[in-house]
Structures are given as structure tokens and as C-alpha cells.
A and B are shown apart, each in its own frame.
Chain A
């Protein structure tokens, strides 16, 4: 497979729509119940406290109404979803040991190749379970832990118990509760004090079973003075019935650490992608969410940073691309709980062929948080008359001694700009590609080079045929 991950991940023709006939080792019946939750916990042979958390979360899930804001979720049928499907008995540590069909899938997606070329470690989740997980040996020796979440719970129960739900409590929202009740898989990443992981670690999430619900749970703990860049990608087969992806990602960035979390989301356009991502940044720590949403039917996702102590910094740079039948309701939330904290939100959205993007963001500054600096910029580009974009920015600023700027723009492809580029020899199609590439450059420039090149190629592909 010569094609790289992102070429595969991002193709406008959606070339990852294939599915394989992998027999599940175990699968719960469709629908959600206490029995299903107990079943999942039992299969995983979990400690009692985790089962109790799951059961409580299930009650919270039932008690909370569906969100009345954001995208239309009325068509989700919770009884028509498979909540747990286990493809293998345990994660392999070598691609050789991954069952053939699944290995083929990940090879088609370019994962082993990417791992060899430029990753410090890789994980691969297939439906509910992680089927592969590996970390570069030198990092393992330095004490870095990169495991699937289930193994993380078994091998580092004290850490998981301490931080699980500490950033995103189950009461936070209906889908965080659902995830807590039925979570399976995801990554557990622990970076010891002062350790810098020089190249990214990657986890790839693949849904294969029809009507699958994927509920991975990821936890990243960066000890003081450490740094790490975690990348996640995802895709799914082309089915005509809906799937649900509802992950929870918690990041704890301790003093002076830096965590970058990069997402390239490219689910097929029948997936509801309802994800809660949040980080706590302590003294002088920086958390950077780089969040790219290309696929899915509906995405509701607002990566958040809680700035807990002075010197903490939160950044969210995102792009959303909504094509036919897609609604990307995405944005960012920053909470300044301490003085001398800073934040940056840059959101870029593109809608075409009747797609819809919504920027939804919150900037909160607590009464005691003086000398806060924040810069919010959201720009929407609408490529045709059928498409739409909304901007819903909330600001709650409770301290006067702050420096905050907010800028929002909505634009269409400027005919004068097209003419300018055409006069330099660019065809109309190339001119549009160039303008869009320039538009998302603030996002692309933060990607590792291999991904940046492919993302630009993807955009070219997405733009093909859009010349009106």
C-alpha cells in the first residue's frame, strides 16, 4: 500500500467505505440496558469501582434529556445500536499477530507504514477493542506508557482511578454519561516528568460493524515538564444506516508540560460523532487541540481547556468541512480560572453542496482571573448558495483587567480574487483550490509535514467538481 494515511483518510470519493466480514469474538445484542453494561464490565474483568461508575453513569444517561441545542439528533435510535463488539481477545504488539483481515484493513489505511515512517507509537482500534498497540522501545524505557485504555486500567489502576472522570465527570452531558457507562478501548498515555516525546504517537479508530456504537475512552497524563503530541484518525465503512461514535478524551497537563492533541476525523457520512474532549492545564502548562472535522453525518464537538493555574495556556485550532448532508457543529471552550492565563481559538469552516457548519464557542473568565489574554477568531467560507454557516460565540467575562479580542468573518469565494488568480494563469478550479488551501493554512501549518501535504491534496480532491 503506497498511499499514505491521510490520502486514504481524506479522499473525497471516500475510499475507505469498504468493510470486511470479520467475525466478532463477542458482541452484545442491539440496545442498551443494565444487563449490557454489566456484560461489558464482566468481559473486561474490571474492578468493582469501575462497574459501579458505569451503572451510575447509565442512570445519569437515562435521566438527562437529549440536548435541545446544536445539531439535529432526533434520528438517533439508541435501541438500534450495538454497544459492544469484540474482534479479538487481546491487543497485539506486533502487526504480525493482528488477525489477517483486520491487518489488511489497517494496511489499506496506511497505519503500519505511517508507524514505521514517522510515529513514536501506534494504536489501532477496531469497533470496541484495540487490536494493536505499540510504543517505541526507547520511550518505553524512559517510562512512557502508551496502552489501550483497558490495559491501562489493569496495569495502572491507581492512576486511572485518580484521573478517570476528573476532567469530564459523567454528569457533564448525556453523551459523556453514555460513554462512561459503555466505554471500551481508547488510549491510556502517561508521560513521566521531564520526558519529551519527540515525534507524534498515533491512534486510529475504525468502525466496521453495522449500526456500531464506538465509545472509546482516552486519558492523557503529562507529568511536570513533559511534552507529547498525540494524533488520532478515524474512518468507517459505507453503510446506509447510522452509527454512533461517542468518545470521551481527558487530558491532564501538569506544571510546565505541553500536550498537543491532533484529530483528523473522517467518518463516513452516516456516523453521528458526539464527542467530549477536555483538558486541564496547570501552572505554565500548554494544551493545544488541533481539531479537523471532515467526515460524519453530524458532529458535535467542542474541545475545551480549563486553565487552572497561572501561566496556563489553551489553544484550539480547528477546521470543519461540511459537504452534502453534513452538519459540523464544532468549536471550542476555554475557561480562564486563574490570573495570567492565555488562550487562542482559531476556527475555520468550509461548507459546500448544501453542507452546514456551525461555530459554537465559549470563552469564560472567572472573577479572580485578571491579566487574561485571549484571542478568538472564527472564519467561515461558504462555497455555494445551498450551503450555510452560523456562528454562536458565548463570552462570559467576569474580570475587567483582561485583554480579549474576538473576530468573526463569513465569506464567499470572492469573484475579484478568482479573477486576480486567473489573470496569473490559474484555472478557475485551481484558483478556488488555492484560496481554500490558503484559508485552512492556519490549521495545516501545525500538522506534521506528512499530514500537511496529504491534507492539501484532500482539499484539492474535495474541491474538484465544485466549479460552478
Chain B
């Protein structure tokens, strides 16, 4: 059912990446490698360029890559369109998911699922509808959700859960999650975390989890923690680094000159 085989390993590499938007430099040489089955937490204060990194990885047309590279399985994807990157199995869970009135969640996801798969793995309406129901159930999402228009009139929390549902349905190889935890209450956060962990465990999805708060990391235990300041990774470590940040905040890191 998934786009890849169990044994397949994928790797997303960001190398010396520098990027700007509207002539303003935002990324100042980012280096990062995310492999299948790994959870990386990228933590940093507001305005540090975390969201820019996610947008550049997914190929947002407003951002200009000045130098460096983004590779998927060893090949540069900088020339690929966003949909080309999606075809390779990249996924971005948006911080602010967009509303698409008139298009139901079910129709949207079925179309998206099928267009990311070869003919023999595509699902007809009925099969997909069953598949979607299972996914919704596992994420504690009400069945009525499927017939609502995509993100249209959703609460902040519903939008975030819808992003996770999309991820669970599309089953990407590597997912970038941009502040998925913001705007979620504790219960919703637990459900989302379970969903993400399930995908990591069962399908070997690799995750780059971008967050401002360490809170979510108690529910999704990261293998690696990176502290992101002024458009680059300042420090990398294990879970203990997240705990240190939780205690001290970013304050102690920020004065350090670049």
C-alpha cells in the first residue's frame, strides 16, 4: 500500500544551505541529514528561520537558494517542483494550513493519494473510503470530517490534525512538520504524537520536527535535537539538549556571536 518497501532507506540532506526571501538572507549555511526512521527536532526562537527552512526544502517559489544544496537519496532536488518533491516522498505539514472551500477532505485525499502512486497501487473510491476511515479512527478524528471542505472553517486544532491525517494517508518517506504542535491542546497533542510515532515505527518515516516549544518532545522522543538560531544550526545533541532548553530557554544561546 505504501509508496516504498519496508527495507527501503531514504535520506534527506541539507548541505551548506543559504537562502533568501525578498532580498533578505534568512538561511545562513544549514547542514542537516535526516534518514528513514529518525526523528529530528529542530528547535529555535521565533524568527530564527525555521519555517523558511521547511519552505525551501519543499520548494516554495518565493525563496531563493543562494548556495548549498538539498538532496534526496543523494540527488539534488533544487530543480524539482514542489509536486516533484512530493512524488519522491517528501511531505510538509504546514504551520498554517490553507483553506480550500468546495473540495472535500475525502476527495482531496483520494486524488492526492492516487496521483502519488503508480497505477497498480491506486485505490478506487470504495477502498479508499475504508482506508481513510481507519486512518481517521486511529487519529480520533470524527467520520464527518471526510465530507467537510478542506480546512474550510476548521479550528486551529482541526487544521493541525488534518495535516497529520494527510500525512498518515499519503505515507511520505520523509516528513517536515512545521510547528504542528502550536495551537494543540494536550489531548490533541498526544493523539498527534501517537500518530507520528506510529508512522515512524511502522513505515520507517523520517521526521524533521520543527518546534518552538520542547513540550511536544515529551510525546515524540527525538533521536536528535538541533538548536536553530539566526538561520543556522548552532548546536546538535540528543534529547538532553531539549531538556536543557526547556530549563534555560533560548536566552543563553542567543547572545553567542555567529
Interface residues of B in 18-65 (CB under 8 A from A): 58-62
Distance (whole angstroms) from the CB of A432 to the closest CB of chain B: 12
Task: Give chain B residues whose Cβ lies under 8 Å from the Cβ of A416.
Answer: 98
| B195: interface (CB < 8 Å) | no
Q: Which of B86, B91, B94, B102 contacts A422 (CB 8 A)?
A: B86
| A4: interface (CB < 8 Å) | no
Task: Give chain B residues whose Cβ lies under 8 Å from the Cβ of A423.
Answer: 58-59, 82-83, 85-86, 91-92, 94
On whether A439 and B98 interact (CB within 8 A), knowing A423-B86, A426-B115, A427-B83, the answer reads: no
Q: Are A428 and B102 in contact (CB under 8 A)?
A: no
Q: Are A442 and B102 in contact (CB under 8 A)?
A: yes
Q: Which of A419, A420, A430, A438 contacts B101 (CB 8 A)?
A: A438
Task: Give chain A residues whose Cβ lies under 8 Å from the Cβ of B81.
Answer: 422, 427-428
| B2: interface (CB < 8 Å) | no
Question: Do most interface residues of chain B lie in helix, strand or loop, or is the interface mixed?
Answer: mixed
A426 to B111, CA, bound (A): 9
Distance (whole angstroms) from the CB of A59 to the closest CB of chain B: 48
On whether A425 and B98 interact (CB within 8 A), knowing A419-B60, A419-B82, A438-B149, the answer reads: no
Interface residues of A in 405-455 (CB under 8 A from B): 414-417, 419-428, 430, 434-435, 437-442
Distance (whole angstroms) from the CB of A135 to the closest CB of chain B: 35
A133 to B97, CA, bound (A): 52
| B125: interface (CB < 8 Å) | no
Q: Are A420 and B94 in contact (CB under 8 A)?
A: yes
Q: Are A425 and B115 in contact (CB under 8 A)?
A: yes
Q: Are B116 and A425 in contact (CB under 8 A)?
A: yes
Total number of A residues with any Cβ neighbor in B under 8 Å = 23
On whether A441 and B102 interact (CB within 8 A), knowing A423-B58, A423-B86, A426-B112, the answer reads: yes
| B87: interface (CB < 8 Å) | yes
Q: Which of B60, B62, B112, B149 contacts A424 (CB 8 A)?
A: B112
Distance (whole angstroms) from the CB of B41 to the closest CB of chain A: 21
Q: Are B116 and A434 in contact (CB under 8 A)?
A: no
A415 to B82, CA, bound (A): 13
Distance (whole angstroms) from the CB of B125 to the closest CB of chain A: 13
Q: Are A435 and B82 in contact (CB under 8 A)?
A: no
Task: Give chain A residues whose Cβ lies under 8 Å from the Cβ of B141.
Answer: none
Distance (whole angstroms) from the CB of B102 to the closest CB of chain A: 3
Distance (whole angstroms) from the CB of A424 to the closest CB of chain B: 5
Q: Are A415 and B61 in contact (CB under 8 A)?
A: yes
Interface residues of B in 90-122 (CB under 8 A from A): 91-92, 94, 97-98, 100-103, 108, 111-112, 115-116
Interface size class of B (residues with CB under 8 A): 20 to 34
CB nearest to A445 among chain B residues: B102
Task: Give chain B residues whose Cβ lies under 8 Å from the Cβ of A441.
Answer: 101-103, 149
| B207: interface (CB < 8 Å) | no
CB nearest to A422 among chain B residues: B82
On whether A419 and B61 interact (CB within 8 A), knowing A425-B87, A425-B115, A426-B83, the answer reads: yes
| B170: interface (CB < 8 Å) | yes
A420 to B112, CA, bound (A): 12
Q: Are A438 and B103 in contact (CB under 8 A)?
A: yes
The digit string for A204-217, where 1 denotes a CB below 8 A from any CB of B, is 00000000000000
A416 to B95, CA, bound (A): 12
| B180: interface (CB < 8 Å) | no
Task: Give chain B residues whose Cβ lies under 8 Å from the Cβ of A425.
Answer: 83, 86-87, 112, 115-116, 170
Residue from A415, A423, A438, A442 with most neighbouring chain B CB atoms (10 Å): A423
A445 to B87, CA, bound (A): 31
Distance (whole angstroms) from the CB of A143 to the closest CB of chain B: 40
Residues of A at the B interface (CB closer than 8 Å) are: 414-417, 419-428, 430, 434-435, 437-442
27 A-B pairs, CB-CB below 8 angstroms? A415-B62, A417-B100, A419-B82, A420-B97, A420-B98, A421-B100, A422-B81, A422-B82, A422-B83, A423-B59, A423-B85, A423-B92, A424-B83, A424-B112, A425-B86, A425-B112, A425-B170, A428-B83, A434-B100, A434-B111, A437-B102, A437-B103, A438-B100, A438-B103, A440-B102, A441-B101, A441-B103
Q: Other CB < 8 Å A-B pairs besides A423-B83, A424-B83, 17 of them?
A: A415-B61, A420-B94, A422-B59, A422-B81, A422-B82, A423-B59, A423-B94, A424-B86, A426-B111, A426-B112, A427-B83, A428-B81, A434-B103, A435-B100, A439-B102, A441-B101, A441-B149
The 10 nearest A-B residue pairs measured at CB: A438-B102, A441-B102, A422-B82, A425-B86, A438-B103, A420-B98, A424-B112, A425-B116, A422-B83, A417-B98
